[in-house]
Structure 1
């Protein structure tokens, strides 16, 4: 992972929230919230909350007396999340690094993290921090994307970028979002951080978009891939986005489209 992989700045949070969240994140957010709710927690911490899709799912599913603390390293992403839930008194938003959480030991009954572990510079340290703030018997529930070949839309966009920039192809997708999918490695990292009772499950959903333009824009302009594209100059962000849209249309059709998305969902005590 490079420093630019964590650069959710400028208009990225808005595009991410508007296009990418409904495209690929909503079903997994609802899934994580169901798993957390089943453990009947009193206090829940969310790390790498992004624009708050899991926060909203937790708010909808958890009893009203349960307190939720939503954190993210990127203040612009957290600011976007606050727009959805600013009036909810039981939800506290706080900028925080998942590798150095500003909370006392044994403060939470559950820790949730949606598609954030892939961005941790030191995953064992991040997992150890989650364990530190959990009460005895608490649960850490998180998910990571499976290999890019199992995720149709980003795979097509990735392959298109390899063709557009053959001399220096952008590798953000395979390096970070889809770069941490080996279940053996994930389990070993969790064990090294002190977790036991680890369960890893493959969960598949369908991703749907109104047109090929939406996922092209979402992945090219609503993720840190945008920085890699812009850094390469010609043919420019708009042209590259259109090339991705054209490739998606050739693969899935020109109207409403759908494709597979697949992730690993992990629970550790």
Structure 2
């Protein structure tokens, strides 16, 4: 089943807000974590899926051993344009690619890595099968997914605050997609359907999300994700009011100054 069009709506405006506000808020800490995990093993050919604006790409490149080749891909041209503008240290090739139909030969890579992108794949098992196809025998697939939304403070508060503005049809993008694929049973099932014989290893990783003000955190979620499109679909002039309501909810819980909230993810590793 294809995701709703708005779920894939990382257009130019969203991509810019995403890089400026959401990357430092929640993605940078996990990029460092995932890059450290992958670079602890010898890999020469690495494929990154759903690279977004390149936060993991840059972390991988900065930790890479001499001779490592990194192919960073994303379906969305707007996100890739921002990623390339940011640049990266080391040998990185950028390419638009659909994770459901990868344009690479079988057994092309030692590792396939993906940060917070698996949740957006319309058919998870099919995407995992593509990862397995391009992975050399004995290679590694490493990815992370957000845990349930209740374990991620700012996302949970924003969803509640924005939903209260539209009680008859609350925007549920954050709960539905970024925080909608956390079940270890479901992930293990989809990997098995894709042909992975080895059991996946799971680890829950909790970190701290920091923002200088509640407004910054609210801006990141309301205007740096496809939640923006859901708000504007309900009220074309309502984006600022929704962002303010989200900021007020964060301030009521964490105060008006610099704020810190829990973020939680699940890291998954499986051998090819």
TM-score using structure 2 length: 0.96
Give how far 1:234 is off. Answer: 6.2
RMSD of Structure 2 on Structure 1 (CA): 1.1
Who is 1:160 aligned against? Answer: 161
Gaps of 5+ in 2: none
Q: Distance in 2 between matches of 1:238 and 1:161?
A: 11
Q: Distance in 2 between matches of 1:261 and 1:48?
A: 20
Q: Which among 215, 219, 223 is matched to residue 221 of structure 2? A: 219
Q: Secondary structure at the match of 1:181?
A: coil
Shift of 1:161: 1.3
The residue number in structure 1 matching 2:181 is 180
Does the 8 Å contact 2:64/2:90 carry over to 1?
A: no
Q: Deviations over 1:183-221 (max 9, x none)?
A: 111011111111214101110001010000111000000
Aligned counterpart, 1:9? 11
1:144 alignment partner, SS class: strand
Partner of 2:138: 137
Q: Give 1:33 shift.
A: 0.7
**Partner in structure 1 of residue 234 of structure 2:** 232
Corresponding residue for 1:194? 195
2:52 alignment counterpart: 50
Q: CA deviation at 1:89?
A: 6.4
Q: Distance in 1 between matches of 2:238 and 2:144?
A: 33
Q: Which residue of 1 aligns with 2:39?
A: 37
- Asked whether 1:59 is paired with 2:61, we answer yes
Q: Matched residue pairs, number?
A: 268
> How far is the alpha carbon of 1:31 from its aligned partner?
1.1
Q: Which moved more, 1:119-128 or 1:189-198?
A: 189-198
Q: Does 1:241 align with 2:215?
A: no
* CA 235–167 in structure 1, closer or farther in 2 if over 3 Å, else same: farther
2:12 is paired with a residue whose SS is: coil
Match of 1:120 in 2: 121
Q: Distance in 2 between matches of 1:85 and 1:112?
A: 19
| Structure 1 residues 235 and 247: CA distance shift in structure 2, 3 A | farther
Deviations 1:48-81 (A, max 9, x none): 0000000000011111310000000001001100
What SS is found at the alignment partner of 2:17? helix
- The yes-or-no answer on 1:254 pairing with 2:256 is yes
Q: Which residue of 2 aligns with 1:25?
A: 27
Distance 1:7 1:249 in 2: 28
Provide the residue aligned with 2:266 in structure 1: 264
1:97 correspondence with 2:98: yes
- The SS at the match of 1:255 is coil
TM-superposed CA distance for 1:167, in Å, is: 1.0
Q: What is the rounded CA distance, in whole Å, between the counterparts of 2:242 and 2:59 in structure 1?
A: 34
Distance (Å, rounded) in 2 between the aligned partners of 1:266 and 1:39: 15
SS of match in other structure, 1:140: strand
Unaligned runs of 5+ residues in structure 1 are none
Where do 4+ consecutive residues of structure 1 move more than 4 Å? none
Secondary structure of 1:186's counterpart equals helix
